[in-house]
């Protein structure tokens, strides 16, 4: 009998398996799933059960936990929330534009890190702002989810994703698809200059070596971390931000306010102070 949502024991996520899911995603990605996320977990992992041909959640989780498992990455990808949009929370991009305009004409690029970039709309929004300001850019987008990184680095989106963008901005930064690509848009080659993507787990004990940044975006991700993890991440951001640099966080997040090295400089935006 095949696996069917809502049909028989094979289609059910029992308490033990749900607890195992919560433990694994906390271990692999630092994400703390609440008990209220059970339906979300069920729906997302059910697709992976079908893809792998496993008969139950228990069997699937055993596959995830197997040594050198090739399914572990897909498990993390499935449970990662990737809600994003171009110029989401526009006040951050207005502040970024002011920061960039002060640097316009300088040869040293403005280094910006989108630390949970999802499908890349945040990265390309940053790139548009810096290009419009005449500011040289060095932009990196990272995420734990390898599938969304493919979309971000590809820079191709459905046309409805850019419907709210001003026509002149759309013409300047995007190419419209034709023929088989009708209904799609692609970022222009000149916008890709100075932009790169890579995988990174913010909860990893070691990050790749990187230069200090002028601006870090970390929006709507630490809500899934416990307080200890938030504080640890904030300390690492403080080390990586230049004095006067900016940290942009999500609309419901205020965790940088607890760190003496930051001061509020706008709505959900914080400036890195000089000193330790």
Q: Active-site positions?
A: 44, 143
Q: How far is the C-alpha of 274 from the C-alpha of 249, rounded, in Å? A: 20
How far, in Å, CA of 145 to CA of 80, rounded? 7
Give, in degrees to the nearest 5, the angle at Cα 120 between 172 and 86: 55
Longest pairwise C-alpha distance within the chain: 66
Tokens of 18: 């749900």
Q: Residue 1 half-sphere exposure, CB side, CA atoms within 13 Å?
A: 9
- The torsion angles phi and psi of 125, rounded to 5 degrees, stand at -65, -45
Which residues make beta-bridge pairs with 142? Answer: 198
Q: Which residue has the tokens 């790749």?
A: 208
CB atoms within 10 A of CB 150: 12
- Give the span between the Cα atoms of 23 and 224, in whole angstroms: 13
- Taking a C-beta distance cutoff of 8 angstroms, is the pair 42, 3 a contact? no
Q: In which element (H, E) is residue 195 found?
A: strand 195-199
Rounded to whole angstroms, the Cα distance separating 99 from 214 reads 9
């Amino acid at each position: 009998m095949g696996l069917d949502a809502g049909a028989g024991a094979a289609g059910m996520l029992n308490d033990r398996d749900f607890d195992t899911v919560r433990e694994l995603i906390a271990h692999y990605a630092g994400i703390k799933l609440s008990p209220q996320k059970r339906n979300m977990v069920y729906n997302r992992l059910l697709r992976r059960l079908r893809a792998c041909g496993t008969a139950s959640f228990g069997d699937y989780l055993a596959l995830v936990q197997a040594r050198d498992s090739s399914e572990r990455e897909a498990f993390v990808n499935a449970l990662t929330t990737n809600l994003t949009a171009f110029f989401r929370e526009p006040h951050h991009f207005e502040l970024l534009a002011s920061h960039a305009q002060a640097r316009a004409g300088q040869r040293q690029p403005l280094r910006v890190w989108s630390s949970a970039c999802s499908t890349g709309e945040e990265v390309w929004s940053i790139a548009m702002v810096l290009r419009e300001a005449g500011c040289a850019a060095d932009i990196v987008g990272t995420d734990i989810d390898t599938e969304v990184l493919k979309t971000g680095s590809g820079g191709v989106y459905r046309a409805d994703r850019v419907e709210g963008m001003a026509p002149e901005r759309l013409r300047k930064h995007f190419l419209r698809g034709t023929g088989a690509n009708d209904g799609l848009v692609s970022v222009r080659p000149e916008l890709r200059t100075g932009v790169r993507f890579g995988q990174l787990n913010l909860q990893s004990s070691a990050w790749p070596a990187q230069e200090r940044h002028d601006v870090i975006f970390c929006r709507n991700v630490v809500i899934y971390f416990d307080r200890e993890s938030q504080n640890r991440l904030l300390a690492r951001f403080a080390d990586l931000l230049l004095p006067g640099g900016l940290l942009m966080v999500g609309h419901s997040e205020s965790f940088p306010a607890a760190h003496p090295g930051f001061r509020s400089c706008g709505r959900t935006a914080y400036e890195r102070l000089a000193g330790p």
